[in-house]
Structures are given as C-alpha cells and as structure tokens.
C-alpha cells in the first residue's frame, strides 16, 4: 500500500517510527508536511499542492494524520480534503477537531464515561455559583485549547479562581472556552495515559510529576512508568476513544475514590510511551491500516 503521514516532518519520533514500521512491512511511505500544503477546490477536480507539485491523491491508500494542536483548523482541512477523495484515514477530520475542543469533547465524554465535574461560563461574575457546582476550591481552570499542560492552572481559593478567570477572559478574545474542573486530591500530580488503537489497549503508563506541580504531563517534566490497568480502566479507555470517533487515541485517566475518571482524549498521542513501557505502538497502527484501508474509507458515525 501507499501511505501518507501528515506530520511536521521526518524528525518527529512518532513519524520516524511509523515510517520505519510501514516500510519494513513492504509499504511505500511519504511524509507530507501538511502546513506546507495548499488546496485548490474546484468542481470535480480538487487538488492538494505540496512543494509546488500536485499530490496524486488517488494513488494513496491511507493517511495517518499527526496534526499539531496549534495547527488543528488547517490540518483538519487538509485531512478533510483527502477524506472527500475516499482515502482511508486513521483519524477523521471531524474526530480530530472534536477531541481538540475541550468543551465539546467533555460534553460527549460525559454521555459515555465518568469524568470530573466540569462547568463553563463566559462570565467571571458567576464564580460563586460555578464553584458551588464544582464543590468549592481547590479547582482546576483550563482553556478550551490547552495542551501539554499549558493553559491549565490550579486555584486554591475563591479569590485565586476569580483572578485566574478574569485573566483568561481578558486575554482570550478569540472565543476560546474556559472550563472549571473538579480537583481530585487523591490523584494530584498523577494520571494514566492509555494508548488505544482500533478498540484495543496497546500500552499504558502512569505519569507522575517530580515536584509539587499538580500536572503530570511529560512535557512538564513528569516521569512515566509502566502500569497495569484494571479491567474497568481498560474498558473506560476504549469507550472514551470510541465515543469521540478516534481509532488511534491517547486516553488520560485519573484514579479517584469513586473510580476511574477520563480527563481528556488526545487525537495525536505521542510515542514516548514506547520508551517508558517497551511496547511497540507503531506496528498496531500500521496493522490497523492493513485490516481496514482496502475496505474503503469509513464514514464517521459519531455526532459532531
């Protein structure tokens, strides 16, 4: 098969691993920097141009989108164009966009799995009522497009929460949602990343902050260790990925006194989990393509 990896370049570890595995299994692989593409939209003759040349869309059997968070809108537009030409994709444009909108993702996840209590508002004067709904402080406040732990703060008091909200709203004039989320004290600084491919758990690791930071992201200096999931955690991770329409996903779970809670679902999970767990996550993705691409691109059946 001929596979395109939509990525920021060959230097990315995940891109290198996917290319290496796919080529070792006899597939032709091209890495396309999607941010350098442009699209010509014409009746019956759409074109995707890359490096000054038209991509022969119909020669590709599958694409693997590795879209950066800050390039979601443009990246998903490229994915959408390729989808319209019937190319199989491991993640649809609508599923990627849905998972990146924390408010929309939270609304969908809440219908299918347990999540921390979450409220949102565009008015910082509602702080008293919002905190009552959450259960008081401390409270986690996050931007709707936060990533890698950026745009996420912990407010210990009502005054701190109000100040944080006012700051977010003051410098947030693009309509991005701000969410308040319940603080799970028993799991502070710790969460679990579950790597799901095609409805199966491929690898899992515990992420632990190395100082008093409540965020456990590896990008923030957190440390990862392999962990064995409970049956309930395994099921909830698979269900969370499926609810957002993602065949390849990194599901973040927090252990609480009332059971596992899903924090968020990542549409382009990093491959650092391979180094932590010694589990191969690239091969299952290529195998998923081999099983499904020749059947034709599947339509996303989850509501937007």
* 3 state SS for the chain: CEEEEEECCCCCHHHHHHHHHHHHCCCEEEEEEHHHEEEECCCCCCEEEECCEECCHHHCCEEEECCCHHHHHHHHHHHHHHHHCCCEECCCHHHHHHHHCHHHHHHHHCCCCCCCCEEECCCHHHHHHHHHHHCCCCEEEEEEEEECCEEEEEECCHHHHHHHHHHHHHCCCCCCCEEEEECCHHHCCEEEEEEEECCEEEEEEEEECCCCCCCCCHHHCCEEEECCCCHHHHHHHHHHHHHCCCCEEEEEEEEECCEEEEEEEECCCCCHHHHHHCCCCHHHHHHHHHHHHHHCCCCCCCCC
226 within some domain: yes
- What's the pLDDT tens digit per position in 238-258? 999 999 999 999 999 999 999
86 within some domain: yes
Place of tokens 């800050």: 70
Select from 183, 198, 227 the last residue of a domain.
183
Q: Could you tell me which residue, 218 or 246, shows the higher pLDDT?
A: 246
303 within some domain: no
293 within some domain: no
Domain count, the chain: 3
Q: Are 214 and 292 in contact (CB under 8 A)?
A: no
Q: Could you tell me which residue, 135 or 147, shows the higher pLDDT?
A: 135
170, 130: one domain? yes
157, 229: one domain? no
- What's the pLDDT tens digit per position in 293-302? 976 544 444 4
- What's the pLDDT tens digit per position in 121-145? 766 667 788 888 888 888 888 876 6
233 within some domain: yes
- What's the pLDDT tens digit per position in 1-52? 999 999 998 889 999 999 999 999 999 999 999 999 988 877 667 788 888 8
230, 192: one domain? yes
Q: What is the pTM of this model?
A: 0.85
Q: How far is it, in rounded angstroms, from Cα 26 to Cα 190?
A: 40
288 within some domain: no
The secondary structure of residue 85, as a DSSP letter, is T
190, 275: one domain? yes
pLDDT of res. 213: 59
Find the mean pLDDT for residues 93-102: 94
Record the tokens describing residue 266, joined without a space.
């990542």
Q: What's the CATH code of the domain at 167?
A: 3.30.1490.20
294 within some domain: no
Q: How far is it, in rounded angstroms, from Cα 142 to Cα 144?
A: 6
Range of the domain at 205: 186-279
């Amino acid at each position: 098969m001929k596979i395109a990896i939509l990525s920021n370049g060959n230097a990315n570890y995940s891109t290198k691993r996917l290319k290496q595995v796919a080529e070792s299994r006899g597939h032709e692989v091209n890495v396309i920097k999607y941010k350098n593409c442009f699209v010509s939209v014409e009746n019956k003759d759409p074109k995707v141009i890359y490096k000054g040349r038209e991509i022969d869309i119909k020669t590709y059997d599958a694409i693997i989108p590795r879209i950066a968070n800050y390039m979601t809108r443009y990246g998903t537009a490229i994915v959408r164009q390729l989808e319209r030409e019937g190319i199989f994709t491991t993640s649809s444009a609508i599923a990627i966009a849905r998972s990146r909108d924390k408010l929309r993702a939270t609304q969908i996840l809440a219908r299918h799995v347990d999540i921390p209590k979450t409220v949102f508002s565009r008015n910082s004067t509602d702080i008293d009522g919002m905190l009552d709904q959450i259960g008081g402080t401390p409270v986690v406040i996050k931007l709707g497009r936060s990533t890698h732990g950026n745009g996420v703060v912990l407010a210990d008091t009502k005054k701190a929460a109000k100040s944080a909200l006012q700051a977010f709203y003051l410098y947030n004039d693009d309509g991005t949602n701000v969410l308040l989320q319940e603080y799970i004290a028993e799991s502070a600084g710790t969460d679990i990343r579950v790597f799901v491919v095609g409805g199966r758990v491929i690898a899992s690791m515990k992420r632990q902050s190395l100082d008093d930071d409540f965020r456990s992201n590896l990008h923030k200096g957190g440390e990862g260790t392999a962990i064995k999931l409970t049956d309930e955690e395994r099921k909830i991770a698979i269900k969370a990925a499926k609810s957002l329409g993602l065949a390849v996903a990194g599901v973040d779970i927090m252990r609480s006194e009332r059971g596992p809670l899903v924090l968020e679902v990542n549409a382009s999970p990093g491959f650092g989990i391979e180094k932590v767990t010694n589990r191969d996550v690239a091969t299952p993705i290529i195998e998923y393509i081999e099983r499904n691409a020749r059947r034709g691109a599947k339509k996303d059946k989850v509501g937007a």
